[in-house]
Amino acid sequence: SVQAARWCAGCHDPVPFFSGAFDDPNYDDVNDPTAAAGVTCTVCHAITHVNSTRGNADYTIEEPLQYPFAYSDNPLLAALNRQLVKAKPAFHNKTFLKPLHRTAEFCSACHKVHLPKALTGYKEFLRGQNHYDNYLLSGVSGHGARSFYYPPKSQTNCNGCHLPLQPSDDFGAKMFAGAKELSVHDHLFPSANTAVAWLRDKPDVIEAHRAFLKDCARVDIFGIKTGGRVDGQLTAPLRPAAPALTPGETYLLETVVRTLTLGHLFTQGTVDSNELWLDVTLTCNGQVVGRSGGRDEFGAVDPWSHFLNVFMLDQNGDRIDRRNAQDIFVPLYNHQIPPGAGQVAHFGFRVPPDAAGPLTVEVKLQYRKFDQAYMNYVALSARGGDRPLRGTEPGQIYRYELPIVT
């Protein structure tokens, strides 16, 4: 329903929404030129006010005033327009860059969501994603008092992390405080969406996201408990000397996942379809004797793995796994980690009775933007005229090859 999708369009499809294309009940979301516009430069920079920090696209957007010939198809007049911008850029700057664009409140307009009863048919208020409030309460913002991670310098807005400075010879580049050369803000918005870059076959963009995610969290092997029980005798920490284990006995491995540089919940955003899990391998003399978090031949993760996501249910008890936010009812579990916090994960194992050498444990925190269930749904939902989904082959089971960040 195009009418129902208007609730999403304020943030996800503003071009067809504000142009009136969404008013057409026969709107062609495959071939219409506005369908693939996404969030353009003008969408963000034409916003004049953030009306509140409630989110849900609570902003005011106005048609920007332009220099003469801004929309001309005549090459000479278009060149004249560009020259006017360069000759007197102050008007362009005032039109498209306002003080609100430098605030976290600006980002709250679309990075804070609640689901109204008109959408869910359930109750008047149901919280969705919310980067803004947990950023304010984190140590990264400089406001939080309960974090064990504080950066050397607090980030007063979201731009410090997600629009970092990059050297540039662009006409609009300038010397920012602390910069050593002319720079602009990087509008890649480096974060966690490696899926779009992979689907578009952009390995350089994937690597930029991967570099940004490096060291944002860590996992530690903390201790061992006897008897394979949470109330067993704890031996910790496991360094510098590792304990001696008895062949044939059962133990519990204690691991701790910590968030470090994040200023919001880990992962936030589309937490029902983000795939974040612990990959644990136990070996003895080079032989695997225990495994959790492995993947099958099609790339699907073992469903018994420890996932750091939200397992959301609808009113029938079925999992929300198709980005069907309108059906959200209640979470079965929420394994997100707050900024500057940690989470303990327990893994039971039995030492082989014939073990004659040391046991080696490898624990990796793994991340993929979308999980197998969602990508299967995307692959099976293809319609005539859709672009081929990367990784699909006619008549074959979809192989899930989205990049994994460790």
What pLDDT, in 10s, does the model give residues 24-71?
888 888 888 898 899 999 999 999 999 999 999 999 999 999 999 999
Evaluate whether residue 356 is within a structural domain: yes
What's the pLDDT score for residue 22? 85
Would you call 254 helix, strand, or coil by DSSP? strand
What is the spatial distance between Cα 127 and Cα 109, in angstroms, rounded to a whole number?
Answer: 14
Is 192 within a domain? no
In a domain, 238, yes or no: yes
Residue 104 lies in a domain: no
Q: Name, in order, each residue with C-beta under 8 angstroms of 204's C-beta and a sequence gap of 6 or more.
A: none
pLDDT tens-digit map of 177-219 = 888 999 999 999 999 899 999 999 999 999 999 999 999 999 9
Higher pLDDT, 400 or 369: 369
pLDDT in tens, 150-184: 888 899 999 999 999 999 999 889 999 888 999 99
Q: Is the pLDDT of residue 148 over 90?
A: no
pLDDT band at 385 (very low <50, low <70, confident <90, very high): confident
Please check the confidence at residue 394 and state whether its pLDDT lies above 80.
no
pLDDT digits (tens, 9 = 90+) for 49-62: 999 999 999 999 99
Q: How many domains does the chain have?
A: 1
Q: Checking DSSP bridges between strand 165-167 and strand 126-130, what pairing results, if any?
A: unpaired
- The residues, any chain, with a CB within 8 Å of residue 85's CB and separated by 6 or more, are 67, 92
- The H or E element spanning position 117 is helix 117-120
pLDDT, tens digit, for every residue of 75-118? 999 999 999 999 999 999 999 999 999 999 999 999 999 999 98
143 domain residue, yes or no = no
**Of 361, 223, 363, 365, nearest in space to 289 by CA:** 361
Question: Would 91 be classed as within a structural domain?
Answer: no
Distance CA 290, CA 277 (A): 16
| pLDDT > 90 in the chain, percent | 73
Cα separation, 53 vs 33, in Å, equals 32
Q: Is 151 helix (H, G, I), strand (E, B) or coil?
A: coil
Domain range spanning residue 315?
214-380
Rounded Cα–Cα distance for residues 106 and 50 (Å)? 6
Write the pLDDT tens digit of every residue in 216-243.
999 999 999 999 999 999 999 998 888 9
Give the pLDDT confidence score for residue 88 in this predicted structure.
93
Residue 241: give its domain's CATH number: 2.70.50
CB within 8 Å of 120: residues ≥ 6 apart: 126, 326, 327, 328, 329
pLDDT at residue 129 is higher than 80: yes
| pLDDT at residue 95, as a whole number | 94
Is a pLDDT exceeding 70 seen at residue 1?
no
Is residue 241 assigned to a domain? yes
Is 181 contained in some domain?
Answer: no
Find the mean pLDDT for residues 326-344: 94
